[in-house]
Chains A and B, each alone.
Chain A
Amino acid sequence: ETGVTQTPRHLVMGMTNKKSLKCEQHLGHNAMYWYKQSAKKPLELMFVYSLEERVENNSVPSRFSPECPNSSHLFLHLHTLQPEDSALYLCASSRGTGGLDEQYFGPGTRLTVT
């Protein structure tokens, strides 16, 4: 699926580092999402942006900071992470039409915090 791209694909960072994950969608969608996928756990919704406005923030620690400068780009800024934050971080996008809205995922960033 080339409609949603994510960079980098792999990231190793120390607990004191600051890094950013980038997501870009080429589908003309109006909603974008960040998910966290840890081993043997369900996908966890972290943030939702609809028309560049943050509409969901699911009790995510402040060491994760999202940014949506326009409807095609979404960032996740990371700082002072913990080893338990190691996971696959997935970006998704959708048209933004509500209940029957299909979400399409990017390839993910595999994050390892050392």
Chain B
Amino acid sequence: QKEVEQNSGPLSVPEGAIASLNCTYSDRGSQSFFWYRQYSGKSPELIMFIYSNGDKEDGRFTAQLNKASQYVSLLIRDSQPSDSATYLCAVNPTSAGGYNKLIFGAGTRLAVHP
């Protein structure tokens, strides 16, 4: 059974701090990795994707991938109260086929307090 694991939280950080969200996956052959943000009562919104080992930065967000450890993380710098949401990690276990069969973690709830 292919699985994606996330700490459910809540992860509570003060405004301006760095929030670190972690995700592990079981399928060593996984090819690509996605982070979604989901506000309460809303649908998931894509933040970033990564497919190579190392870091990928986009504004205040940095995704980190370590395929050897089967670990992917999302760092949010200068956290704002508006970043308070549930963050979903999603893994594509294969690159075959003309579609993307994502496996989602249950999400980590982030709370940024002023």
Contact = CB atoms under 8 A, between A and B. Distances in A.
B45 interface: yes
Interface string A53-71: 0011000000000000000
A95 to B, nearest CB: 9
Interface in A13-58: 30-31, 33, 40-43, 45, 48, 50-51, 55-56
Interface in B72-114: 88, 90, 92, 94-107
B25 interface: no
A43 B100 contact: no
A107 B39 CA distance: 11
A103 B100 contact: yes
A98 B106 contact: no
A40 B99 CA distance: 26
A42 to B, nearest CB: 5
Given A90-B44, A105-B44, A99 B94 contact: yes
Interface residues of A, number: 30
A108 B105 CA distance: 19
Given A98-B96, A98-B97, A103 B46 contact: yes
A114 interface: no
B45 A1 contact: yes
B101 A45 contact: yes
Interface in B36-55: 36, 42-46, 49, 51
B62 interface: no
Interface string A91-114: 000101111111111111000000
A97 B51 CA distance: 15
Contacts of A101: 92, 99-100
11 contacts: A31-B98, A31-B99, A43-B90, A50-B99, A55-B97, A98-B97, A101-B92, A102-B46, A103-B46, A105-B36, A107-B43
Interface of B: 4, 8, 31-32, 34, 36, 42-46, 49, 51, 88, 90, 92, 94-107
